[in-house]
Amino acid sequence: MTTKVAVIGSGNIGTDLMIKILRLSDSLEIAAMAGIDPGSDGLARARRLKVATTHEGVDGLVELDEFAEVSLVFDATSAGAHKRHDEVLRTLGRTVVDLTPAALGPYVVPPVNGDAHLNAPNVNMVTCGGQATIPIVAAVAAVTPVHYAEIVASLSSRSAGPGTRANIDEFTETTSSAIEQVGGAARGKAIIVLNPAEPPLIMRDTVHCLIGDCDDAAVTASVEEMAARVQTYVPGYRLKQKVQFERVAIDDPLRSLLPAASRSGQAAKVSVFLEVEGAAHYLPAYAGNLDIMTSAALRTAERMAAHRTTKVVSS
């Protein structure tokens, strides 16, 4: 039994997601794609692939005959546009998987809390930087409290389309919030870097966690196990080197980020360096930032669909 879905957004992310659904999913069937640019490559590809299309956005989508059988919609547009999309789709009883940083629904990072919001009407996929780094923060937090976590996501300028560039502020705010709410850090900070290097560089992410004293081997094992879990749906996700540990000196300014009661005790900074290579379903392999978002959204939707199918069968 398959679940019929639609995609709003015919740009890089929406098109890659459409292709992933067609190629990789046994449980989801794409019924329609909506965009606002009638000349977009995404809509042209959808038509060639026999997917129903409209260039009139969400209003055109809900008028398509195919929409009647759609139960889940991916929004791959912008944070600004998502609010209205959610209002329209929620009224019509459709579930929404949000790939923008709007964060109207609960955050979902598949290997961390992938089963936590299966009945939610709207779930948010955070950001590409969040999908890459929050699993690592959570892996460290599973072993020892993380007092502060800072992530730096470096993306190729070529892989950052208009939607990504328009949402830079939302990217940092949403990612920082999810580092705390999903990753488990007491405080979180996110930085994004658009790298103009030629040839384009593969997505790189750095995670720094400030913790108290810890068992280095236990933290390393937790991080490596989490990386392996992400690789099950993002094969190009990998650790660039071994997990790094640096003991924080008693006079180091980093100690100001610790709770007052902990500043005189042992402290350490854990650093993890990641690379995310895309599967190149639609865009080049350097666009791992897009690949991890669409892969996480696909995994989340498949879990939600399976859960709801199970409920229907059991009832």
What are 151-175's pLDDT values in tens digits?
999 999 998 877 778 778 888 999 9
Q: Are residues 138 and 279 in the same domain?
A: yes
Q: Are residues 263 and 278 in the same domain?
A: yes
Q: Sign (positive/negative) of CA torsion 288, 290, 295, 297? A: positive
Is 9 among the annotated ligand-binding positions?
A: no
Q: Is the peptide bond before 199 cis (omega within 30 degrees of 0)?
A: yes
Domain limits for position 71: 3-125+292-314
Q: Are residues 108 and 132 in the same domain?
A: no
According to the model, what pLDDT value does residue 162 have?
75
- Give the three-class secondary structure for 91: helix
Residue 169 neighbours by CB distance under 10 Å: 10
Active site residue 128: yes
Q: Are residues 266 and 301 in the same domain?
A: no
Q: Are residues 146 and 230 in the same domain?
A: yes
Alpha-carbon distance 155 to 314, whole Å?
Answer: 45
Q: Are residues 86 and 169 in the same domain?
A: no
Alpha-carbon distance 43 to 39, whole Å?
Answer: 7
Residue 238 neighbours by CB distance under 10 Å: 15
Residue type, 111: P
Is 212 among the annotated ligand-binding positions?
A: no
Q: Are residues 185 and 211 in the same domain?
A: yes
How many domains would you assign to the chain? 2
Alpha-carbon distance 186 to 211, whole Å?
Answer: 10
Q: Using one digit for the tens of pLDDT, what is the confidence trace for 203-228?
A: 999 999 999 989 999 999 999 999 99
According to the model, what pLDDT value does residue 262 have?
85
Tokens 């964060």 locate to 103
State the CATH number of the domain containing residue 74.
3.40.50.720
Q: Are residues 136 and 103 in the same domain?
A: no
**Residue, of 69 and 260, whose pLDDT is higher:** 69
How far CA 79 is from CA of 54, 168, 173, in Å, comes to: 21, 10, 12
Q: Are residues 217 and 282 in the same domain?
A: yes
| Marked catalytic residue, from 97, 102, 108, 128 | 128
Is 288 among the annotated ligand-binding positions?
A: no
Is 12 among the annotated ligand-binding positions?
A: yes
According to the model, what pLDDT value does residue 182 have?
98
- Close Cβ partners of 43 (under 8 Å, ≥ 6 residues apart): 10, 33, 35, 37, 53, 55
According to the model, what pLDDT value does residue 60 have?
98
Q: Are residues 98 and 151 in the same domain?
A: no
State the CATH number of the domain containing residue 265.
3.30.360.10
Lookup: tokens for 169: 């502020």
Q: Are residues 21 and 166 in the same domain?
A: no
Is 13 among the annotated ligand-binding positions?
A: yes
Alpha-carbon distance 79 to 104, whole Å?
Answer: 9
Give the predicted TM-score (pTM) of the model. 0.95
Is 11 among the annotated ligand-binding positions?
A: yes
Q: Are residues 92 and 206 in the same domain?
A: no
List for the chain the helix, strand, coil content (%; round to 5): 45, 25, 35
How far CA 175 is from CA of 30, 56, 181, in Å, comes to: 29, 30, 10
SS3 for 34-57 is: ECCCCCCHHHHHHHHCCCEEECCH
